[in-house]
Amino acid sequence: MKFHKEGYPSLALAVLISLLLISLAYFVLDGILIAKPITIFISAFILIVILQFFRKPNRRMVQMADGIIAPADGKVVVIEEVHDDEYFKSKVRQISIFMSPINVHINWYPISGEIVYSQYHKGKFLVAWDPKSSTDNERHSIVIKNPIHGEILVKQIAGAVARRIVNYAELGEQVGQGEELGFIKFGSRVDLLVPLDMDINVVLEQVSSGGQSVIGTYLK
């Protein structure tokens, strides 16, 4: 298990706060019976939470030429037909994965191909399970064009707590399935918009593993 680079600023701040709390415990609250252990506990808790949020697991990524893999850890909360007004301008299948604060917050490319669209949208910070969060919340959308299967859209969505989306995609870049797409600090939601004729391999409430769970396969 490693620590992700996106967590370095937060870790530095957490270490600083912990050191200040420990100094307070030993030099100011030393004579108060329960204040010292409580302060030390709080400082340790802050560090553990930050390490948990920004952990980077070692995992073997699934490679599928005829399918897409999960872009994030979390729970599948939406599988439905929708009309996409942003890019496709047509009906597509939406699969949404909700990332809780205890999930790994890295996002991965679900398929290989070329980045043909990348757009950041300012927006609200509704709770991530609200259906309106897909269109109203702050978000970053990218479209990956696979030379065989065509295009899919991946949407990183901020939530009520998660207010920092990091996206690594660059227009014209060739990306590989299972490579890091970005990061959503403190969890939230990732939407996939895929063709209607794709065979969906997940069900509602299923727990997905980013880079490993098979979301769907292309019909031959």
**Secondary element (H or E) of residue 197:** none
Cβ neighbourhood burial of 77 (10 Å; 0-12, 13-18, 19+): middle
Residue 88 CA to residue 6 CA, distance in Å, equals 31
**1 neighbors 57 (Cβ within 8 angstroms):** yes
Catalytic residue, chosen from 18, 133, 188, 208, is: 188
Cβ neighbourhood burial of 190 (10 Å; 0-12, 13-18, 19+): buried
Q: Which residue has the tokens 């270490």?
A: 15
**131 neighbors 96 (Cβ within 8 angstroms):** no
Catalytic-residue membership of 213: no
Structure tokens at 21: 């709390």
**99 neighbors 190 (Cβ within 8 angstroms):** yes
Helix (H/G/I), strand (E/B), else coil: 44 = helix
Q: Which amino acid is present at 151?
A: E
Provide the 10 A C-beta neighbour count for residue 176: 12
Instruction: Give the rounded distance of the alpha carbon of 1 from its chain centre.
Output: 18
User: Which residues are known catalytic residues?
Assistant: 188
